[in-house]
């Protein structure tokens, strides 16, 4: 029997269990992401893609990216391997670590919020590139309110990481749903009286709600939600030593998006909104599939690294890569093919016009080029963290940022304009994914390269029927989507989308893509 088959027989039961957890998280995340679409549709309908909307989208990206650096991305990546690897029957050290991290968030982000409130105008001016004085003034005023979202969502992210380390994924997956509900309600109820500032009310209310929903589950899991300001325990100090390099590595996402917003704010009106809106569509499959796979596999990879089980680690990594390919490669193709239709049906109403749809669709298409690369890059980052290798992801991330920024500086001045920023991002992450993949092979003694390449080819073949369906749908003409959001347009798009997705899923199962079969429960311990 080959090593590959041996590995399969040894770890397949737990792989199947991880697949079932991943499927559950996908469903819950999907509901949250769809509500996120509704949130953005409300924002676009009320505020359009105007200069004021550009300011709103650009300014909100600042605290949103800050929490990725200080909590959700970097800090969680540093402490989940430690929390998952603790061998403590009474879990005293685990509870202490979570409390210290909550205290750390308050100590760091509390003063940051105060400073940003006092000096909101110059900070917002430095981080954006608006030439209109009214836009510059509005940016400072909105930033003064939006920045308080950072400490709220960072505390929420610590609770989320703690629950994930205990294999509790349901409540954390639902927290974004509450945020969207709060934002939608605030805009619909308060926009007439508060205007664009109604968004601030919704954002802050959503931050509080995301903490509140996780408190009961955290307590039931044995964690205390009271902050602790003791920063001398070995677990906390180890987390901090690992956190600093992870900040650099995780910053690749935040820096790339913030740089894209900065460059876009210097282009035509509507460019910043096009970036933000395209990312929201792009994040639907990214959030439902890739984030779900990584969320479930990260604690598992951490435990395998603790046990020194390279066979299990090789199997888990191969499954993660195959699952991302099976889910994200077809998603990227379908999303790119239907980019104009999707943007028009979801966003084109009120002050969001056809020109805004076309601009956003071009950016979305460009981001889709790199969707599989970004997902695999993220998984490989977490794999290195699980194996306590922080230097390699840091080096690769610096290179990715450099390639993305240099490419953006060049491509934004071509006919591509704002779409060039997304293409530069896709190229940079593809280079990074290949680099991290080569490093991961050295850690586990190789991965199942032949099987992964076979999965990639099957995934490419699986989208052929979807391509045919979209091309046939084009014979219907373009008037149905050019007129914008309507029940007829939604019905047509839903029919085309369901046919394309259904045909692709059927092909994945017919071609016997193992990851896809595991995720739908068709493959067990056979």
DSSP string, 230-270: ---SHHHHHHHHHHHHHHHHHHHHHHHHHHHHHHHHTSSTT
- Tokens at residue 208, please? 């509080």
Rounded CA separation 403/396 (Å): 11
Residue 57 reports pLDDT greater than 60? yes
Residue 3 reports pLDDT greater than 50? no
Query: Crossing angle for the helix pair 464-473 and 487-510, nearest 10 degrees?
Result: 160
Lowest mean pLDDT among 13-27, 238-252, 267-281, 433-447: 13-27
pLDDT band at 4 (very low <50, low <70, confident <90, very high): very low
Based on the fold, state whether residues 142 and 219 are members of the same structural domain: yes
Phi-psi region of 86 (alpha: psi -120 to 50; beta: other; left: phi over 0): beta
pLDDT band at 1 (very low <50, low <70, confident <90, very high): very low
Rounded CA separation 352/340 (Å): 13
Which pTM does this prediction carry?
0.71
Based on the fold, state whether residues 274 and 411 are members of the same structural domain: yes
CB 331 within 8 A of CB 337: no
Residue 95 lies in a domain: yes
What share of the chain in percent tops pLDDT 90?
A: 22
Query: Crossing angle for the helix pair 92-118 and 120-127, nearest 10 degrees?
Result: 100
Rounded CA separation 270/435 (Å): 35
For range 223-244, the mean pLDDT: 85
Residue 237 CB neighbours (<10 A): 12
pLDDT tens for 262-285 read: 888 788 878 888 888 898 888 888
Based on the fold, state whether residues 18 and 60 are members of the same structural domain: no
| Residue the block writes with tokens 């028009």 | 344
- Tokens at residue 466, please? 């979807």
- Last residue of a domain, which of 218, 238, 258? 238
Based on the fold, state whether residues 211 and 349 are members of the same structural domain: no
Residue 287 lies in a domain: yes
Rounded CA separation 477/398 (Å): 45
| Residue the block writes with tokens 């979801």 | 346
Write 401-405 long-range contacts (CB < 8 A, 24+): 401/251, 401/252, 401/255, 401/256, 401/259, 401/428, 403/427, 403/428, 403/431, 404/256, 404/259, 404/428, 404/429, 405/256, 405/259
Selection from 80, 112, 93 nearest residue 230 by Cα: 93
Based on the fold, state whether residues 341 and 232 are members of the same structural domain: no
Based on the fold, state whether residues 114 and 209 are members of the same structural domain: yes
For range 224-230, the mean pLDDT: 88
Based on the fold, state whether residues 231 and 287 are members of the same structural domain: no
Phi-psi region of 521 (alpha: psi -120 to 50; beta: other; left: phi over 0): left
Residue 36 lies in a domain: no
Based on the fold, state whether residues 211 and 289 are members of the same structural domain: no
pLDDT tens for 129-158 read: 777 788 888 888 888 998 888 888 888 888
Positive or negative torsion for Cα 30, 35, 40, 41: positive
* Residue ranges making up the domain that contains 4: 1-26+267-526
Burial class from Cβ neighbours inside 10 Å (0-12, 13-18, 19+) for residue 272 reads buried
Residue 252 lies in a domain: no
pLDDT band at 436 (very low <50, low <70, confident <90, very high): very high
For range 50-75, the mean pLDDT: 70
CA 411 to chain centre: 24
What pLDDT sits at residue 129? 72
Cα angle, residue 465 at apex, residues 464 and 467 outer, rounded to 5°: 65
Residue 320 lies in a domain: yes
CB 385 within 8 A of CB 81: yes
First to last CA, the chain: 15
| Residue the block writes with tokens 């399969």 | 8
| Residue the block writes with tokens 């704002």 | 418
Based on the fold, state whether residues 439 and 324 are members of the same structural domain: yes
**Residue 412: which residues within 8 A CB-CB, separation 6 or more?**
263, 267, 418, 420, 421
Rounded CA separation 186/205 (Å): 9
pLDDT band at 406 (very low <50, low <70, confident <90, very high): very high
Radius of gyration of the chain (CA): 22
Q: Say how many domains are in the chain.
A: 2
For range 187-195, the mean pLDDT: 89
What pLDDT sits at residue 335? 93
Selection from 216, 214, 102, 232 nearest residue 158 by Cα: 102
Based on the fold, state whether residues 309 and 398 are members of the same structural domain: yes
For range 394-416, the mean pLDDT: 91
Query: Crossing angle for the helix pair 291-307 and 371-386, nearest 10 degrees?
Result: 30
**Residue 344: which residues within 8 A CB-CB, separation 6 or more?**
354, 357, 361, 481, 482, 484, 485, 489
CB 496 within 8 A of CB 504: no
Residue 248 lies in a domain: no
Based on the fold, state whether residues 234 and 288 are members of the same structural domain: no
What pLDDT sits at residue 232? 87
Rounded CA separation 182/205 (Å): 6
- Tokens at residue 277, please? 């809106």
Residue 431 reports pLDDT greater than 80? yes
Based on the fold, state whether residues 95 and 191 are members of the same structural domain: yes
pLDDT band at 7 (very low <50, low <70, confident <90, very high): very low
- Tokens at residue 405, please? 């920024």
Residue 9 reports pLDDT greater than 50? no
């Amino acid at each position: 029997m080959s090593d590959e088959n041996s590995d399969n027989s040894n770890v397949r039961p737990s792989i199947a269990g991880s697949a079932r957890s991943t499927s559950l998280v996908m469903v819950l995340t999907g509901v949250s992401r769809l509500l996120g679409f509704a949130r953005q549709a409300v924002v676009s309908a009320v505020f359009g893609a105007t200069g004021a909307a550009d300011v709103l989208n650009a300014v909100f990206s600042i605290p949103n990216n800050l929490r990725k650096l200080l909590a959700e991305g970097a800090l969680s990546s540093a402490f989940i391997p430690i929390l998952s690897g603790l061998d403590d029957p009474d879990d005293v050290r685990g509870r202490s670590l979570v409390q210290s991290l909550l205290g750390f968030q308050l100590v760091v982000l509390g003063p940051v919020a105060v400073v940003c409130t006092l000096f909101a105008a110059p900070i917002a001016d430095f981080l954006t590139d608006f030439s209109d004085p009214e836009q510059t003034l509005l940016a400072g005023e909105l930033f003064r309110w939006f920045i308080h979202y950072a400490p709220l969502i960072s505390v929420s992210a610590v609770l989320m990481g703690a629950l994930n380390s205990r294999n509790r994924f349901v409540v954390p997956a639902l927290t974004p749903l509450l945020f969207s509900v709060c934002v939608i309600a605030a805009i619909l109820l308060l926009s007439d009286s508060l205007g664009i500032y109604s968004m601030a009310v919704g954002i802050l209310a959503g931050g509080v709600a995301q903490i509140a929903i996780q408190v009961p589950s955290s307590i039931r899991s044995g964690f205390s939600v009271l902050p602790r300001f003791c920063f001398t325990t070995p677990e906390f100090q180890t987390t901090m030593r690992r956190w600093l390099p992870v900040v650099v590595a995780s910053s690749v996402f935040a820096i790339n998006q913030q740089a894209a917003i900065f460059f876009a704010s210097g282009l035509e009106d509507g460019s910043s909104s096009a970036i933000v809106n395209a990312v929201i569509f792009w994040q639907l499959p990214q959030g439902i599939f890739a984030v779900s796979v990584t969320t479930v596999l990260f604690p598992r990879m951490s435990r395998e690294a603790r046990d020194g089980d390279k066979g299990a680690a090789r199997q888990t990594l191969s499954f993660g890569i195959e699952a991302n390919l099976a889910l994200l490669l077809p998603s990227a193709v379908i999303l790119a093919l239907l980019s104009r239709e999707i943007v028009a049906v979801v966003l084109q109403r009120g002050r969001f016009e056809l020109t805004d749809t076309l601009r956003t669709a071009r950016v979305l298409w460009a981001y889709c080029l790199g969707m599989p690369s970004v997902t695999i890059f993220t998984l490989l980052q977490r794999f290195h963290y699980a194996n306590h290798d922080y230097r390699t992801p840091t080096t690769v991330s610096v290179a990715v940022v450099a390639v993305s920024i240099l490419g953006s500086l060049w491509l934004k001045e071509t006919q591509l304009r704002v779409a060039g920023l997304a293409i530069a991002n896709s190229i940079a992450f593809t280079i990074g994914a290949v680099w991290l993949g080569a490093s991961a092979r050295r850690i586990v003694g190789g991965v199942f390269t032949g099987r992964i390449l076979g999965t990639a080819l099957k995934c490419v073949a699986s989208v052929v029927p979807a391509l045919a369906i979209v091309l046939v749908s084009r014979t219907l003409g373009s008037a149905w989507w050019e007129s914008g959001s309507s029940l007829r347009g939604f019905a047509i798009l839903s029919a085309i989308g369901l046919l394309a997705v259904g045909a692709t899923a059927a092909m994945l199962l017919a071609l016997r893509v193992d990851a896809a079969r595991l995720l739908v429960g068709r493959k067990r311990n056979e």
